[in-house]
Amino acid sequence: MSKAIVAEGLTKRYGDVAALDGLSIAVDEGTVLGLLGPNGAGKTTTVRVLSTLLRPDSGTATVNGLDVVSDARRLRTMIGLSGQYAAVDEDLTARENLEMVSRLYRMGRKRSRERATELLERFDLVEPADRPVGGYSGGMRRRVDLACALVAQPSVLFLDEPTTGLDPRSRIAMWEVISELVAGGSTLLLTTQYLEEADQLADRIAVIDHGQLIADGTPDQLKDRLGGERMEIALHAAADAPEVSRALASLASGEITVSEDGTEVIVPVANGAEALLDGVRLIDAAGVRPAGVQVRRPSLDEVFLALTGASAAPSAPAAGPASGTVTPPGVPGQAAVPEQAGPDDQEVAVAVKETIR
Ligand SMILES: Nc1ncnc2c1ncn2[C@@H]1O[C@H](COP(=O)(O)OP(=O)(O)OP(=O)(O)O)[C@@H](O)[C@H]1O
Ligand SMILES: [Mg+2]
């Protein structure tokens, strides 16, 4: 399978901060790469380099075989981008925004009108379509921006947190759009804080932190890295935890852990079904009545936590139990990321949309 995106040894520094520190990634044509990482990991910087908006300090990257620096102009007509912050013209209506982008892609007037109508329907924007975007809610703007990224039906699409701020219905609609695009042969690089989203949509996941790749693989491979399945024994009394841990030592394929309040023992196991049967017998033989016993695979959330020491979105609506966001020491959070391009961005400058203007 040929590669639609190849990045090798990308670096980008902002003062003392290495936003990208030798990052290499590759995405097969017609597949989805989910780029994950805690706040400040370098996700947006990666997207901006690959979508020609930002020149790397060193390293190389190609998209559709074209160099993101030297072939930037040609490349811009082939790719779609929806940045982390919606970039729509507030004075124009949703319909006008879409028609403007279509025209920038040199589509004829009639085709531009048709495409705008299609996308307005697709993104549930028919009702507000003829009001200026300035009066839209955040989620509505986000949808206009996403629709703009899809105007030209690009073969490679970069979506930076495409579903952040969308309500559950719009998120599902977005997932459908993404699945359709990929079924149609598009290649997608998406960043997300919703691990469940990456699990659903991405063929492969790259986890980055401090501008470096720290793990890469299919969602299943990443889960396997954390040691296959886990048996979880819920206890009525914390006092039983040491006894249960002792009883199950022979089943464990890794370190047994006990929850902070002592009422849950977690045992990594190799063969879940067998371990479950044996485990129940051993607990029974130890004279303990558990409150519950289950075997499950680690969630992507646990993988993420184990890899980066940080959890993903604090309030991912469908991503299982929520946990707080931790920013690793020395990594400034999003507040430190200016929305405007930094001085050295200006050479390559201007958003894809503006370039074609
Ligand atoms: N224009 C800039 N000027 C100065 N520092 C920057 C700039 N852009 C990014 N950085 C820094 O580079 C690092 C990576 O930022 P980036 O925006 O790529 O992270 P991210 O993974 O997208 O984070 P988030 O999840 O918060 O969106 C951060 O430490 C950030 O502060
Ligand atoms: Mg970002």
pLDDT digits 0-9 by tens, 228-247? 788 999 999 999 999 999 99
CA of 251 to the centre of ligand 1 (A): 44
pLDDT grade for 222, boundaries at 50, 70 and 90: confident
Q: Does the C-beta of 303 come closer than 6 Å to ligand 1?
A: no
CATH number, domain 3-78+154-223+327-356: 3.40.50.300
Residue 58 contacts by C-beta under 8 Å, 6 or more apart in sequence?
9, 10, 11
For residue 314, the number of C-alpha atoms closer than 13 Å in the C-beta half-sphere is 5
User: DSSP letter string over 279-292?
Assistant: HHHHHHHTT---SE
Q: Where are the domains positioned within the chain?
A: 3-78+154-223+327-356, 228-296
Q: Which residues of 223-256 are buried (b: 16+ CB within 10 A; e: fewer)?
A: beebbbbbbbbebeeeebbeebbebbeebbeeeb
Please classify residue 81 by burial: count the beta carbons closer than 10 Å to its beta carbon, then call 0-12 exposed, 13-18 middle and 19+ buried: buried
Residue nearest to atom 25 of ligand 1 (CA): 39
Q: What is the best residue among 35, 39, 45, 81 to mutate for testing ligand 1's pocket, by most ligand atoms within 8 Å of CB?
A: 45
CATH number, domain 228-296: 3.30.70.980
Q: Does the C-beta of 41 come closer than 6 Å to ligand 1?
A: yes
- Rounded Cα gap, residues 258 and 242, in angstroms: 9
Answering whether pTM is above 0.85, one says: no
Cα 194 → chain centroid: 6
Q: What is the best residue among 213, 337, 346, 348 to mutate for testing ligand 1's pocket, by most ligand atoms within 8 Å of CB?
A: 337
Kindly list the strands in the beta sheet with 17-28, ordered across the sheet, starting from the edge strand earlier in the chain: 17-28, 3-14, 58-63, 66-67
CA of 334 to the centre of ligand 1 (A): 7
pLDDT digits 0-9 by tens, 110-126? 999 999 999 999 888 99
- Rounded Cα gap, residues 143 and 130, in angstroms: 15
pLDDT digits 0-9 by tens, 264-304? 999 989 888 899 999 999 999 999 999 999 998 887 777 78
pLDDT grade for 227, boundaries at 50, 70 and 90: low
